[in-house]
Structure 1
Amino acid sequence: MSKSKSQRPSRRRSLWRTAWRSLLVLGIGAVLLLVGAVAVTMTTLPGFTTLMKSPNGQAVRVVARDGTVLVNQGPSYGGWLRHEEIPDVMKGAMIAVEDRRFHSHFGVDPIGLVRALWVAAADGGNVRATSTITQQLARNLFLTNERTFARKGREALLALAMERRFSKEEILELYLNRVYFGGGAYGIDAASRRFYGHSAEELSAPEAAIIAGLVKAPSRFAPSSDPERARDRARVVALTMARDGVVPSAAALQADIEALEFAPQPKQNNVRYFTDWVLAQVDDLVSERVKPLVVTTTLDADMQRAAEEAVKTNAPEEAQGALVSMTPTGAVRAMMGGRDYVNSNYNRATVAERQPGSAWKLFVYLTAIENGISPRDYVEDAPVTIDGWTPRNYGRGHRGTVTVTQAFAGSYNTVAARLAERVGFNNVAMMARRLGIETDISRQPAMALGTSSVRLIEMTAAYAAVANGGRAVDPYGIQKVETADGRVLYERPADSTRVVLSPWVVTNMTYLLESVISSGTGRAAAFGKPAGGKTGTTSNYQDGYFVGFSRDLVTGVWMGRDDNRPVGRLTGGGNPARAFSAYMRRASEGMPARALDSDIGEDDDLFAEPDMEIYGEGWEEFGEYDRDYVYDPETGVGVTPDGDVEYGDSVEIRDVYPADPSARAELPSRMRSADVPTRPRADGNSGDPPRGGDGWLDEPVDSRRRPAPSTSQSPPAAENEDGPTSLLPPDPM
């Protein structure tokens, strides 16, 4: 019996020894397996240089002309800072908050893990996050954020492997340059530039505290989302920094955090109309597809705010509005593609095609000026029918004999229709093409009153060509594109010097445009400085247009509904003109009041036949003259400089002078007949096309041919309610 009792402790000890041996073998096996797994994982890890490269697509930052950030597209990584370039206070703050034993553990923190389990047992089983900096980096680089034990195991394995593959300095460098800090910013340099406006190399203690506190919940604590919540989180970080000796006093740091100011954050709202427009052009300008880019634009932040206010304040409640403003050379300073980008990102300034109404008359009168009309000439505002179409004036009245200036300032439709018929509808279309209109252009008679749909930015650029002294204008919004490290990939070349309008044409046209604001339909557009422009209103009040310019800015405004329904009494001389005035008044603050180039002299002494050489390179696409002509009013023939008669009885000048001979006698001598050089046109009775170098005048644009319009005089048509009416009423006074 005693022997049996003595054998029991021995058997028990044997079982314990066996168990311990088994556990030891299992432990050694587990360690060997872990070492093997770590070794294998180490071989699959990318190199340090590879991990430095930015994943997740290319980051693009768009800034205004003064450097103000407009928008960040894609992940923003900023510049890469080496470990020695990162401020000690930033490194200390991050380690104090996220992993205080970073320098002593081997990738996983056993002490932190035990403490987390102890707290979880006391707290009812809720385990708090215990990831080290290395584990967080592994998760950010290689894993997802799913909450499973399998993911946690892979995270720990990768952390152990990374600790063997990289030094502590390399791990911390990777972490601080790659972790997400909210607001689209990856890495401390991107975060510093986003929230403070400077490089992370210049981070102060309160700024570092803010950034260190963001890792816990970037979207929630980011200053771009909630500045006060970011400060509250940073005050907690200040306590840990003081505890670990990163800063001497938590109270002093908390006071500095309270006084800290953040950089203004870009509004993700109406400026996006502009940034969407320019970002679509970046791929065409540069070939870089990996490195972060900085796009410097032409936009002026103050002018953009003025544009937003002008459109929102003046657009009818039920209507949309668009505004684009540029320098006379085409640098876009402000753009509104609608009332509110959040509600509708459709860009009505660059994409929408709407009828401009009488704003189109710019091309009619430019063509007429090139063909012999001057502002002080007389024309007839009387009923007219062209190919079965009878245009009518606003109010359906007629004023008889008026000057060209009065007709343009008052936007008389009958006069514009007569002029377009006389110079040729194709030639009006060619003028529009010459000044940058790329949309389809009708050749029907009603085109003289703006029935062809156009884009607002193209119409504004066409007016800019006049403001630019007759030189071609190509609107642009990008001044420079460079990489984040400052390597310039694209820089806007010098402005175009191609001349599309001769100086005397520009001066005469500017004179007419100025009269619209001083005494015509655009009086509401006045803003206290010399300016010219033109109103436009389409039938049933569907569209309201105003485009005009000063010496420094060219601005176009459109208003209407996207569904083309009428807007109650919307006219170009109303809401759009008032929006133009409100915008230009604010946008031109501080600019001198400079007179426009509109001095045509006492007797229109600027009027002269243009020399084709002045149009410069590229004029060939619009046609060219083979010979010069002078029109002889006594014989009615075109005569070349060497005396050759080209053809007889070439044209009778109609509507330019009063029909009453006694009234003609009282005009200045130069107005009694076309005794100034002008271009010959085909005989109105014969219907024969013009000869020689003028054949291009009746050639259609874009190879679309239609019969040359008849120039036969139609008897004035009585107004017939059942007959053809104008597609577009003119602008009301």
Structure 2
Amino acid sequence: MNPLDPDRPSHARPEPAKPESAKPEPVRPDPSSRETDETRAAAREAAAAAKVLGRQLGVLAGRAARGAGRRAADAARAAGPAWRGLAGRVRSRPNKPGAAPRAIPASDLPPAASLAGRLRRRPWLAASLALVLLPLAFLAALVLYSFATLPPLGGVVPEAGQRALTVEADDGRVFATRGAFQGQKLTAAEMPAHLAQAVIAIEDRRFRSHWGVDPRGLLRAMYRNAVGGGVREGGSTITQQYVRLTSLTQEKTLRRKIQEAFLALRVEATMSKDEILLGYLNTAYFGAGAYGIDAAARRYFGKGAKALTLPEAAMLAGLVRAPSQLAPTRNFGGAKERADVVLQTMVETGAITAAEADQARAQTITLRTPPETPPGTNYFLDMVSAEAKKLADAPGDVTVRTTLNLDLQSLAEGVVARRLDAEGAKKKASQGALVVLNKEGAILAMVGGRDYEDSQFNRATQAKRQAGSLFKLFVYLTAYENGFNPDTVLVDRPIQIGDWEPQNSTGRFKGAVPLRSAFAQSINTVAAQLADEVGIPAVIATAHRMGVTSELPNVPSLALGSAEVTLLEMTRAYAGVLAGAAPVDTHSVHTIRGAQPQPLYLRAEAKAGTAIPTESRAMMLDSLQAVVDGGTGKGARVAGLPVGGKTGTTQDYRDAWFIGMTPDLIVGVWVGNDDNSSMNRVGGGDIPASIFRDFVQRATVQLAKGRKRPSAARAEPAPAREVATNPAPAASVRGVPEVIDTGTLAFRGRTVRLLGVDGEGGALARQLARYLRRREVACAPPAGAEAKAEQLRCQIDGDDLASLILTAGGGRAAEDAPADLLAAEEQARSERAGIWGRR
């Protein structure tokens, strides 16, 4: 018998009901834990449900779209008479057995069946409903998902980034800033009323009345953007901007906007309007690396936010919409125009009167900001940033007083660039580096390459190249400390040390030579014999004692500089000879100051290194001076100044070095190519020695006289002794000239060359012609100097014309240009003016 047969009576007895008393007592959970568990479970279920709902809606949407497409295709095939025949048919069902079928009106059908019938009869209606319902379904799913994944308030902590550095030169002049300024958090008591009014007027007029989201403001923004043909106004309230900064990412998606609205409503329910505004001002970005209103006030005006005037507050309020574009440091005109708009908006909202706005517009806004960082100093700044972090890794904005001498830095950049411009292409030398130290190891100037914007690689501190004969300093110093002296005679001859046979660069041998001459002429065989005599390990020990930190291989060829070293560490080693103790402590930072009066770091007096024996040091200095007086470094001689140094040239002319010293300075120079390719027979006594000479002969005079650089706005007038102010001699000329190029003028058929200027044609010449139009120029030969024929110094309205041209970057200074014109060119180069601008 089949127990599942419905016709079979069941003999199964029903289970007796349990008595009421047998029911188990429900377990009552702990109320304190139940709330937490339920909250977590609800959150998990909401997230899971939102995900499932999203997937199901996606599936349904796909099916609906496919069904509508099939129905439309079927309707098209059934068009014409067939459709009319189908439309006339009615569904019928028998009334009784044998009775005729009876038509059922559509009104008697169930709603779903009626709607389905209509949709089958009208496929366009199905498609229309799909077009309307699918976006609504998608939007509903997105809202649910956005709510389910809502982040917590304040969940986004802005990245601290690099702390702000304000960098000063050795004389206290601020010349650069780095990093992001944070400032102090503004309190409610410190916020000026006009600052709050300015921000509300320009960012969110209805801030005090809406509940976080302003539909009226959103519609107004949409209208103005539609009329203006682009995005001219945003619809976000201050509350929405605040939650975006503190709780959301900056992605531009509809989901983020929905979450932004939800969080704005929540913030309005938990914080006061003043707290929201204060939080927004302490978080917003105001351009030029300033985050927060106090940082912006200090960055642009040198004062705290509580001291802002009405026009200053209006300018800062206007920056929030486009901080990078309107930052006053780069676009003061645009920032001022925006401030005027803010003032007018404050009048419209009743925050101030029209008279107060006019008075604010009439006030002069003075920026107290550092100038744009001179491009060439960026190599030095990279090093300072790393050193400052190592010396005082404290949070907050800091000011660093460095060792950099801005005048020497500008001079160094100009000398390196000018020499490579003149000879680099011909001699296949594309890069150069220079380091200037004093005897205490302070870095006074640094050139890490020709163009920081092209390459941030610092060839003075990061590039490791073979030192060549520069390394012989350690060989000879070790020998002098072990009984040799400059008059000791060795034989320049073919030698072999193991498998190594050193050769001289000339390919010839001189026989017996004293060590002084061997060092001055950089004879390789003598240096190899000395190193073999005292031992390579002893030479390595001397190099390390003098401050070389690179790895030095214990091989015979080390005597001729086969090891790779940096320019800074080799310059440091030579500085030890001049100082009489090693290693010299090279440094770039004097002090680091933060918000507190007590310095975060104050450089203590450096401990003297190990003293170099007096006699050995004197012999080494004598040998170094012999190199410049009559050896391979003759190109570095400076009239009237004792100079010592050493050249270095590596195999196949891949590297050329010169490190020289005066009584006050140690200057290291390297020239070569980044790809290690060979130059066109450039040795250390060639371009490097010339760069050293060009720098030292002018740096010495500059340091002695303390001469200032010409200002950017107005070049220094030529000294009276150089420009004739008495009645013009026969060679003088006066009149309104025609411009041939920026270094050549024509006066009534007479051509005059401006002394010290290599002119430029084209657009620069046309600009000069417009400047000189109908203005009289007086030219005369320089007093007390012999100039080339028709080379004169000219004046216009009391200013030296050549200096004006070079300061504006309208030409290049000639090799024989006077010092004031060379300084003018250096300033134009450092400020990227005229021809020195980046192309």
Instruction: Bin the TM-score by the shorter chain.
Output: 0.5 to 0.7
**Count of residue pairs the alignment pairs up:** 548
**Deviation, structure 1 residue 482:** 4.9
Which amino acid is the alignment partner of residue 647 of structure 2? T
Counterpart of 1:379 in structure 2 is 489
Q: Deviations over 1:153-179 (max 9, x none)?
A: 433443343344334433333222210
Tell me the amino acid that sits aligned with residue 552 of structure 1. Answer: D
Q: CA deviation at 1:498?
A: 2.6
Aligned to 1:422: 533
Quick one: distance in 2 between partners of 1:305 and 1:111? 57
**Structure 1 CA distance, aligned partners of 2:556 and 2:514?**
22
- Farther off after superposition, 106-115 or 500-509: 106-115
Mapped pair 1:271 → 2:411: no
Give the counterpart of 1:333 among 444, 469, 473: 444
One-letter amino acid matched to 2:283: R
In the alignment, structure 1 residue 313 sits paired with structure 2 residue 313: no
Match of 2:687 among 575, 579, 583: 575
Could you give the per-residue CA deviations for residues 277-305 of structure 1, whole angstroms, max 9, x where no partner exists? 344455544554x5455554433344333
Encode CA deviations 1:596-642: one digit per residue, 9 max, x unaligned: xxxxxxxxxxxxxxxxxxxxxxxxxxxxxxxxxxxxxxxxxxxxxxx
Answer whether contact 2:635 2:690 (CA < 8 A) is retained. yes
With structure 1 as the length reference, what TM-score do the two structures score?
0.66
What is the distance in 2 between the residues matched to 1:399 and 1:546?
24
Within the candidate set 188, 208, 217, 1:83 is matched to 188
Partner of 1:545: 657
Q: CA deviation at 1:273?
A: 2.6
Q: What secondary structure does 2:581 align onto?
A: coil
Distance 2:642 2:315 in 1: 51
Distance 2:485 2:452 in 1: 44
Specify the alignment match of 2:749 in structure 1: none
- CA–CA separation in structure 2 for the residues paired with 1:201 and 1:291: 19
Match of 1:79, SS state, is coil
Q: Which has the higher contact order (CA 8 A, sep 6+)?
A: 1
Cα 1:255–1:550 change in 2 (3 A) is farther
Show the counterpart of 1:141.
246
Q: Distance in 2 between matches of 1:175 and 1:120?
A: 25
Residues 160 and 495 (structure 1), Cα distance of their counterparts in 2 relative to 1, 3 Å cut:
same
- Candidates 548, 552, 568, aligned match of 1:441: 552
What is the match of residue 316 of structure 2?
A: 211
Q: 2:464 aligns with which of 334, 344, 353?
A: 353
Specify whether residues 181 and 449 from structure 1 end up closer, same or farther in structure 2 by C-alpha distance, changes over 3 A only.
same
Corresponding residue of 1:304: 409
Three-state SS of the structure 1 residue aligned to 2:564 is: coil
Whichever residue aligns with residue 535 of structure 1, its letter is: T
SS for the counterpart of 2:506 is: helix
Following TM superposition, by how much is the alpha carbon of 1:558 offset from its aligned partner in structure 2, in angstroms? 1.0
Whole-Å Cα distance in 2 between the matches of residues 126 and 561 of structure 1?
49
User: CA offset at residue 180 of structure 1?
Assistant: 0.8
Identical columns (%): 41
* Alignment check: 8 A CA contact 1:54 1:77 kept: no
Identify the range of structure 1 (474-483 vs 173-182) with the bigger mean alpha-carbon deviation: 474-483
Aligned amino acid, residue 189 of structure 1: D
Matched letter for residue 328 of structure 1: K
Taking only aligned residues, the RMSD between alpha carbons, in angstroms, comes to: 3.7
Over 3 Å counting, the alpha-carbon distance change for 1:246 and 1:565 in structure 2 is farther
Is contact 1:359–1:545 with CA below 8 Å preserved after alignment? Answer: yes
Task: Give the CA deviation at 1:543.
Answer: 0.6
Q: Counterpart of 1:408 in structure 2: which amino acid? A: F
Whole-Å separation in 1 of the counterparts to 2:275 and 2:661: 58
The answer as to 2:334 corresponding to 1:222 is: no
- Aligned pairs for 1:460-609 (under 5 A) are 460-485=571-596, 488-527=599-638, 529-585=641-697, 587-592=699-704
Residue 336 (structure 2) aligns with: 231
- Structure 1 128/430 Cα, relative in aligned 2: closer, same or farther at 3 Å? closer
Cross-structure match for 2:777? none
Inter-partner Cα distance in structure 1 for 2:489 and 2:347: 87
**For the residues of structure 2 that align with 1:110 and 1:586, how far apart are their CA atoms?**
69
Distance (whole Å) between structure 2 residues aligned to residue 458 and residue 67 of structure 1: 28
What is the alpha-carbon distance in structure 2 between the residues aligned to residue 98 and residue 78 of structure 1?
22
On the 8 A contact 1:435/1:462 being kept in 2, the answer is yes
User: What is the CA-CA distance between 1:122 and the residue it aligns to?
Assistant: 6.8
Which secondary structure state, in structure 2, belongs to the residue aligned with residue 395 of structure 1?
coil
Which residue number in structure 1 is paired with residue 259 of structure 2?
A: 154
Stretch deviating more after TM superposition (454-463 or 224-233): 224-233
2:352 pairs with 238, 245, 259, which one?
A: 245
- Larger CA deviation: 573-582 vs 162-171: 162-171
Aligned to 1:720: none
Give distance in 2, aligned partners of 1:226 and 1:92: 24
Looking at structure 2, the residues matched to 185 and 361 of structure 1 have their Cα atoms a distance apart, in angstroms, of 51
Residue 64 (str. 1) matches residue 168 (str. 2): yes
Counterparts of 2:233 and 2:314, CA distance in 1: 22
SS in 2 for 1:557: strand
Distance 1:565 1:119, change over 3 A: closer
Q: 1:487 to 1:413 in 2, by over 3 A?
A: same
Q: In 2, Cα distance between the equivalents of 1:174 and 1:586?
A: 55
Q: Is the 8 A contact 1:314 1:575 kept in 2?
A: yes
Distance 1:305 1:554, change over 3 A: same
- Contact persistence 1:535–1:572 (CA under 8 A): yes
Q: Any conservation in 1 of the 2:400–2:589 contact (CA below 8 Å)?
A: yes
- Partner AA of 1:357 in structure 2: G
Q: CA deviation at 1:363?
A: 0.9
Which amino acid counterpart does residue 383 of structure 1 have in structure 2?
Answer: R
- Equivalent residue letter for 2:377: V
Q: Describe the superposition over 1:194-247 as per-residue Cα deviations: whole angstroms up to 9, x where unpaired.
A: 344554455444443332221111222223443443333334334335554178
Match of 2:479 among 350, 359, 368: 368
Q: Is the contact made by 1:294 and 1:484 (CA closer than 8 Å) also made in structure 2? A: no
C-alpha contact (below 8 Å) 2:643/2:662 kept by paired residues: yes
The Cα of 1:560 is off from its aligned counterpart by: 1.0
| Cα shift at 1:354 | 0.9
Is the alpha carbon distance of 1:576 and 1:250 closer, same or farther for their aligned partners in structure 2, counting shifts above 3 Å? Answer: farther
| Matched-pair contact (CA < 8 Å) for 2:654–2:673 | yes
**Structure 2 SS opposite 1:591:** helix
Q: Is the 8 Å Cα contact of residues 524 and 577 (structure 1) preserved in structure 2?
A: yes
CA 1:191/1:119 → structure 2, altered by over 3 Å: closer, same or farther? closer
Q: Determine the C-alpha separation between the residues in 1 that align with 2:675 and 2:220.
A: 66
CA drift at 1:499 = 1.6
TM-score (norm 2): 0.58
User: For residue 443 of structure 2, what is the amino acid of its counterpart?
Assistant: V
- Structure-2 separation of matches of 1:588 and 1:201: 48
2:632–2:647 Cα contact (<8 Å) kept: yes
Q: Is the 8 A contact 2:181 2:299 kept in 1?
A: no
The verdict on how the C-alpha distance between 1:96 and 1:478 changes in structure 2, with shifts beyond 3 A counting, is same
Paired residue for 2:434?
323
Question: Kindly tell me: are residues 304 and 390 of structure 1, through their superposed partners in 2, closer, same or farther at Cα, counting changes over 3 Å?
Answer: same
Q: CA deviation at 1:575?
A: 1.1
C-alpha distance in structure 2 between counterparts of 1:297 and 1:179, whole Å: 31
Which amino acid in 1 is paired with 2:276? I
For residues 561 and 686 of structure 2, what CA distance do their matches in structure 1 show? 18
